[in-house]
Each structure stands twice: as C-alpha cells, then as structure tokens.
Structure 1
C-alpha cells in the first residue's frame, strides 16, 4: 500500500466517527424536539455541522475507493455507512481492521513469512 492510499484510508477513518456521532445527535435532538420539548431546536447548529462532516465523509470515501480500487460492493457499503445511524462507527472499525491486517501482511512479507491458504 502506497502512502497516498494509506493517507486516504486514514482520512476516511478520522472523519467516520465524528460523522456518526453528529448523525446520532441530530436524529436524537429531532426526536426530542417533536416529542418532549417543542422549543428545543438545535437543528440550526447541528445541521450544518453534520452536513459538513457528511460531505467530507463522502469525498474521503470516494477518494479511498478510487485509490484502493475497491469493488463496487465494498465502495457502496462504505458509502451506505454514512446513511445508517451509527454507520460511521462500523466503517471506522472495519477500516481499522483492514489497516492492521495490511501492517501484519507487510511485516510478514519483509520477514519472509510465507502465507499458506
């Protein structure tokens, strides 16, 4: 994995959790607004924050998709994570595991360990 690909995946990981948090907060505050506290409106504050994080997530996801050459299913799955409540957490966990596996594979290649499938 080259440095630009690793950077693209790292950017996607870094924005995925804040995007997931903002999605959940915005949804929870909307439910509170319409059920419990009618004067409670945080959408003017949380809406733009979530919007910026969502746009960053999509841009970083498309960049990572392009650099890693994911198949259509994998790329679409990462894009779908931005729509699912809490999907940012799932994306981050999956990306972290892939990064750890890439490091392990790189070390194994350097040390001459042969993989048996």
Structure 2
C-alpha cells in the first residue's frame, strides 16, 4: 500500500478510493439523514470533503492521462467514474490497477 504514494497512478487510485467512499457516504447516509431525519449536519460535514476529493480526482486524472498518454476515451471513462456510485472502484479494478503495474 505504501508504494501507491510514490507514483501518480498510485495517488490517483488512493484519491479515487476516498472520493468513491465519500460519494457513497453522501448519497446513502448523509442525504437520507438530511431529508428523512431532518438533520443536515452530516451533509454539511461530508459535502465539502467530497467536493474537494472530487476536484482532486479530476485534476489528477487529467495529469495521469497526459503523463501516461491515455486515449481520450480512457481519460473520459475515468472522469465519468467519479460521478457514478461505485464507479471509482470499477475503474480502479479495470484501468488503474493494471496501469499501476506497468
């Protein structure tokens, strides 16, 4: 796990994991608490964290895409993954994991 910190793809994988978890927490825990439990505190806490991770994921994806000379199709798939629940986990398994071993 520690070796992930030393490559751009490794860092993108970590950010993708954190972004994916924050999206799931936001969608499946925080938003229902806000609208069903009438308690917006968790959305106020998790929302900005997710937003920052989302932006970090976008910037790092573009950076890695340029560095690795990815086709536009590959970069677009990775970028779209961050707006779909469980998408970053799928992309990590299908694209990023194999790219990290090269």
- The structure that has the greater radius of gyration is 1
Per the alignment, residue 113 of structure 1 pairs with none
Please give the root-mean-square deviation of Cα atoms over the aligned residues, in Å: 1.6
Per the alignment, residue 27 of structure 1 pairs with 27
Residues 22 and 50, structure 2, Cα contact 8 Å, conserved in 1:
yes
CA shift at 1:34, angstroms? 1.4
- Paired with 1:61 and 1:98, the residues of 2 have a C-alpha distance of 13
CA shift at 1:40, angstroms? 4.9
Aligned length: 95
How do 1:1-117 and structure 2 match up within 5 A? 7-28=7-28, 29-35=30-36, 37-94=37-94, 95-100=96-101, 102=102
Is the partner of 2:39 in helix, strand or coil?
Answer: coil
Is the partner of 1:42 in helix, strand or coil?
Answer: helix
CA shift at 1:67, angstroms? 0.5
CA shift at 1:7, angstroms? 1.8
CA shift at 1:8, angstroms? 1.7
CA shift at 1:39, angstroms? 2.6
